[in-house]
Structure 1
C-alpha cells in the first residue's frame, strides 16, 4: 500500500529531523527518526541509506548491508548506494567484491569522488600503492576540497615513508574538514614518525576533543604515551579502554601488560585468563593474550607458568608462515662467499664521503635501543630509530639488474654503489634538523654491513652484543610486530643466532678496525666508562645528558620502549638462568657455535 500525501510529508519532516540529530552527533535519536520516517514512507530510499550509514558507523556490517540492499531495491541504479555497499565490503575485507561495486558506481557517475577514493583504498589494501595514489590524486583534482582523499593520499605517502609529505596532506584533510577526528589522529602518528612529540600529542588531544569516544584514537594515543615515555599515563589509558571495551582486540592487552608490573591479586590477570579460556577464541587473540599472560606471570615469579604461555603464543605464530633454517644457512653462506677481499678491493675507493651516519646493529634485543637512546641524548645526535632504507636502496638498485641481495652485489658497479648511497642520503635527510649525526638502529643491518662499509667508509658502525642465551630468550618472550621468522621456535632461534655470529666473525676479518663493539653486560655494569668509549668512537664530546638517557624525550617504537625510560638496572643480566631446563633445546644449539 502506497503512502498518502500526509505520510509522505511526515516522513520528509522526520528525515530532516534525523539529519539534524546525525550532524549533532546524537546517533540514537537519528536512528529513531530514520526508522519513524521509513515506517511512514517505506519508499524513502534516502532514509534507508542513511540508517545503513549509521549501522556501518557502529560496526554493524550485517545490518548495514541488509539496509543498503533494501535501499537499492528502491533505487537500483543509485551510485551513492552502490558506493556504500562497497564500503561495507571494505569493512569485511572483501576488496575484490568492493571494487566491483565502486566500478558500478563510477559507471553511473565517473566523477563521483567518494567512489574514486574508495576504489583507491581497495588498491592500497592490495598493496598496489602507486595505483592507489593515482586514484586519490584523481579524486582531489575533481574536488580539491574532498578531505577524505587527502587523508587517504597521506596514508599512501606514509607507507612510502614520505613522512613530511604525509603530514602536509593530513593537514589539508583537516583544513577542509576541521572536525575530521581520524585525520587529526593520523597526523599525530605521522608527527611521531618524524620525532615531533609535542605536536603529535596536540593532535591526539584535538582528535579526542572532536570525537571523545573514538576507541581507535584512544588506542593510538595510549601507544604514543607508551613510546614517548609517559608510562603511567599509558597504563591508566589502557586500563580505561579495557574497562570500557572488555572485548577489545587482544593486542591491546599485550601492549598494556608491558606498561605495568602485575601483582598477585591483579584483576587484569583474572580478566585475561577468562578470555583465553573461551572455546571460540581466534588465534590472533590467543597469541596476544599468551604473551600478555607470559609477562604477567613472569612479574609474579611463576616462571614455568610464564614460559608455558610464551611457548604457546610462539607456537601459534610459528604455524602461520613458512621458514626453513637450511634456506637461511644458504643465504648467510652466500653473503660470506660474495663478500671476499677481492670484492672489497674492487670497491675500496667507491664510497661517499659522508661521515655523519651512525649504524647501530646486531641481534634484536641486544641493546641497540639502549645504545641509540644514549647517543640521541647528545645534542649533536638525532635518533632515527629503525630505518629500513639500506635494504630498500639495495633492493631498488638491484631491481635494475633483475637481481636480489646478496646476488645483486656481484652485478653492481661503482656507480650502482654511489646510487645506493645517494638514495639512502635522500631518504634520511627528512629526519635531520639541527643535529649533525643521524643514528639508524635497525638491528638486521648486520646483514648489509659489507655494503654499508663500501658506501659509507667513514660512517660509524656500532655492533651491540649480549650473552647469547639472554639475547635469545629476550627475543623469544617478546612478540614482534615486524616479521622475525626465526624467533618463534627455540631451535630455529638458536640456529639463526649461530649464523649471525658466523657472519659477524666474517665482517671482523674483512674490516678488522671497521666498527665498535659494545657488550650489553659491560654497559650495564659500568655505564660511564662504556659511554665514554662510545662517544669517543663517534667523535663526540662528553655530555652528562648521555648518562641520564632515560630522561630524553623521543619516540621509541621497539620492544624496549618501556625499559629505556628507566635508569640502567642489573635485573636484565643473566635472565636466562631462571628458565634453566625450560630452554635446553636453545642452549644445546648455541653450544654448537
Structure 2
C-alpha cells in the first residue's frame, strides 16, 4: 500500500476511534465504511465494524466482519474472542469453541475469553468444563456477582455445600454495583431452593428482584399500547387468502411466554430427523417490526402487503439460510413471534404456529426466579407487572384464536409433562411431521441450547417443576391476587 494512502487511512481510522470514544457511533460507522471502501483488508476496521453491528443487533453482519478480522489479524486474541462470541450468537457452537480456543492459547488469562468459554460449555451441556472456567473467572473477579449466578445455573447444591458457603461469605457491599449484588442474590436463591429452604430462597429473590426492578423499570401502559398497535395493524385481514406469490417454505414457530416450556417443545420437534433447530433468533419479529412500525405508530398490514414477501419473507429465509444452509425444515423458538403471526401467515401460509401454555403460577414464578440480561423482560421483577405482562400475552393469543383459529396449535406444557408420548405425538402432527420415536429422546441431542434451564433441558421430561409455586406458601399470594385482578384463570 502506498505510504501516503496508509497514513491517510490511519488518520481516518483514528478519527473513527475518537468518534467511538465520544459515543458518536453513526459518525464512526460512516468513517469506518469509507476506510473499508479504500482498504477492504484493513483488519482493525473490520473489528470495529463488527462491534458496531453487534450493538445494532445485526448479528450476521457483525459475524462477517469478525471473520474477516480473524483472517487478517490471526495473532490478536481479542479478535478471536469477538469472533467466537459472534459464532455463539448464531448457534455455531463447535466453531465458536475453536475460535475461543485460539483466543485462549494467545492469552490464557483473558477474562472476556474465559467468560465466553463459560457460556459455550454450558450451552453445549459440558457443565464440568464450564465450572472449571467459572472458578478461573472467580479468581480474577471474586466481586462479580454474575459469576455466582452462572455457577448456580450449572450446579446442584446440597446441605453443607462448600460453594454455598463461599457465596454466603461474599460481602455484598464489595460487589461492583447493585446489579452485581442482585445476581449474587439470584444465585443464593437458587442454592437455597436446591436444599429445600424455600423461605430463605424467597428472601433472596425479593432482594434480587427489588434491585433489578430499580435498574430496569417497566411501563405497563406502554406495553398495553404496543399490544393494541400489533392487533390493529393485523385486524380486518382475510388470513385464509395468502398474498400472491407467497413463500412455500413451512418453518415451525414455537412461541409463548418465557419459562413456559418453549425450549422443551422446540427440542422435541428438533429431535425429528427432518428438522433443524434455529434456537431463538428473533429474525421474524425484528423484520416485521421494522416494516410495520413507524416511530410510535404502526402501518396496517394491508398498506404494506406489496413489500411483505420481499422485505420480510425473503429476508427471513436469507437469515435462516446463513444459519442453517442444509436444513429441510426449521423450528424457530422466538418467544416474541406471537405478536406478528398474522404477517407470517400471509407471507408463509404453510408455516406452523405452536403457542406454548403453562400454569401461569409456575410460569411467572419461574420468571421471577431468574435474571434476564441487558434489560430484557423488564416486567420480570415484580408480581404485579408479571401479571400485567401475562394478561397481555393471553390477550394476544385470544386475538389470534379469533382471527385464524385453524392456524394455531396450543401446546399444553403441563399435559405434556403428565403424559409425554401422546402429547408429543400430537405436537409432531401439529408441526406437519410424521412421528419418529427419537422425538421422545430429545435430551440426547447435541443441539446448542440457549435457555436459563441449561441443565434441565439435557434431561428426559420431568415433573419436579410442576406446582413449584406451592413450595413458597403465602409468599406468592400477591402474585395470585394480581392474576385474579386481571381475570386470569388458574387451574384448580
TM over 0.5: yes
Superposition pairs for residues 517-532 of structure 1, below 5 Å? 517-532=410-425
Partner SS, residue 361 of structure 1: strand
Q: Which residue of 2 aligns with 1:54?
A: none
* Cα distance in structure 1, aligned partners of 2:249 and 2:8: 56
Partner SS, residue 548 of structure 1: helix
Which of 232, 248, 257 is the equivalent residue of 1:354?
248
Which of 246, 255, 258 is the equivalent residue of 2:150?
255
Question: Does residue 203 of structure 2 align to residue 308 of structure 1?
Answer: yes
Which of 313, 318, 343 is the equivalent residue of 2:237?
343
Extract unaligned runs of 5+ from structure 1.
1-107
Question: Does residue 31 of structure 2 align to residue 135 of structure 1?
Answer: yes
Question: Does residue 76 of structure 2 align to residue 183 of structure 1?
Answer: no
Question: Does residue 435 of structure 2 align to residue 536 of structure 1?
Answer: no
* Cα distance in structure 1, aligned partners of 2:61 and 2:295: 30
* Cα distance in structure 2, aligned partners of 1:248 and 1:234: 19
Residues 250 and 348, structure 2, Cα contact 8 Å, conserved in 1: no
Change (3 A) 1:225 1:533: same
Question: Does residue 334 of structure 2 align to residue 438 of structure 1?
Answer: no
Question: Does residue 465 of structure 2 align to residue 572 of structure 1?
Answer: yes
Q: How many residues align?
A: 478
Question: Does residue 365 of structure 2 align to residue 473 of structure 1?
Answer: yes
* Cα distance in structure 1, aligned partners of 2:228 and 2:84: 43
Extract unaligned runs of 5+ from structure 2.
1-6
Cα shift at 1:425: 2.6
Superposition pairs for residues 271-350 of structure 1, below 5 Å? 271-278=166-173, 282-337=177-232, 339-340=234-235, 342-344=236-238, 348-349=242-243
* Cα distance in structure 2, aligned partners of 1:558 and 1:495: 23
* Cα distance in structure 2, aligned partners of 1:441 and 1:412: 28
Q: Summarize deviations over 1:351-376 as a string: whole Å, max 9, x none.
A: 72333211111111111111112222
Which of 207, 218, 222 is the equivalent residue of 2:114?
218
Q: Which residue of 1 aligns with 2:346?
A: 454
Cα shift at 1:286: 0.9
Question: Does residue 293 of structure 2 align to residue 394 of structure 1?
Answer: no
Residues 379 and 435, structure 1, Cα contact 8 Å, conserved in 2: no
Cα shift at 1:307: 1.1
Partner SS, residue 472 of structure 2: helix
**4+ aligned runs moved over 6 Å, structure 1:** none
Superposition pairs for residues 77-116 of structure 1, below 5 Å? 111-112=10-11, 115-116=14-15
Superposition pairs for residues 358-397 of structure 1, below 5 Å? 358-397=252-291
Residues 114 and 133, structure 2, Cα contact 8 Å, conserved in 1: yes
Residues 364 and 444, structure 1, Cα contact 8 Å, conserved in 2: no
Residues 47 and 66, structure 2, Cα contact 8 Å, conserved in 1: yes
* Cα distance in structure 2, aligned partners of 1:525 and 1:577: 18
* Cα distance in structure 2, aligned partners of 1:469 and 1:292: 21
Partner SS, residue 80 of structure 2: helix
**Higher relative contact order, chain-length normalized (CA < 8 Å, sep 6+):** 2
* Cα distance in structure 2, aligned partners of 1:173 and 1:279: 38
* Cα distance in structure 1, aligned partners of 2:105 and 2:466: 44
Q: Which residue of 1 aligns with 2:4?
A: none
Cα shift at 1:345: 6.1
Change (3 A) 1:297 1:576: same
Q: Summarize deviations over 1:514-539 as a string: whole Å, max 9, x none.
A: 12111111222222222222222222
Residues 116 and 136, structure 1, Cα contact 8 Å, conserved in 2: no
* Cα distance in structure 1, aligned partners of 2:366 and 2:355: 18
* Cα distance in structure 2, aligned partners of 1:232 and 1:196: 20
Partner SS, residue 513 of structure 1: helix
Which of 41, 65, 77 is the equivalent residue of 1:169?
65
Q: Summarize deviations over 1:80-123 as a string: whole Å, max 9, x none.
A: xxxxxxxxxxxxxxxxxxxxxxxxxxxx9774365145236447
* Cα distance in structure 1, aligned partners of 2:19 and 2:433: 47
* Cα distance in structure 2, aligned partners of 1:579 and 1:467: 16
Cα shift at 1:168: 4.2
Question: Does residue 124 of structure 2 align to residue 228 of structure 1?
Answer: yes
CA RMSD for the aligned pairs?
2.7
Which of 134, 147, 161 is the equivalent residue of 1:238?
134
Residues 144 and 175, structure 2, Cα contact 8 Å, conserved in 1: no
* Cα distance in structure 1, aligned partners of 2:141 and 2:452: 24
Change (3 A) 1:329 1:559: same
* Cα distance in structure 1, aligned partners of 2:433 and 2:455: 27
* Cα distance in structure 1, aligned partners of 2:316 and 2:71: 33
Q: Summarize deviations over 1:316-375 as a string: whole Å, max 9, x none.
A: 1212344332343343345445544x3336965457233321111111111111111222
Cα shift at 1:430: 1.4
Cα shift at 1:420: 2.9
Residues 351 and 457, structure 1, Cα contact 8 Å, conserved in 2: no
Which of 90, 113, 124 is the equivalent residue of 1:194?
90
* Cα distance in structure 2, aligned partners of 1:365 and 1:351: 37
Residues 166 and 190, structure 1, Cα contact 8 Å, conserved in 2: yes
Change (3 A) 1:421 1:253: same
Change (3 A) 1:182 1:279: closer
Q: Summarize deviations over 1:128-175 as a string: whole Å, max 9, x none.
A: 3xx433333444456665432222223334455655554443343233
Q: Summarize deviations over 1:12-61 as a string: whole Å, max 9, x none.
A: xxxxxxxxxxxxxxxxxxxxxxxxxxxxxxxxxxxxxxxxxxxxxxxxxx
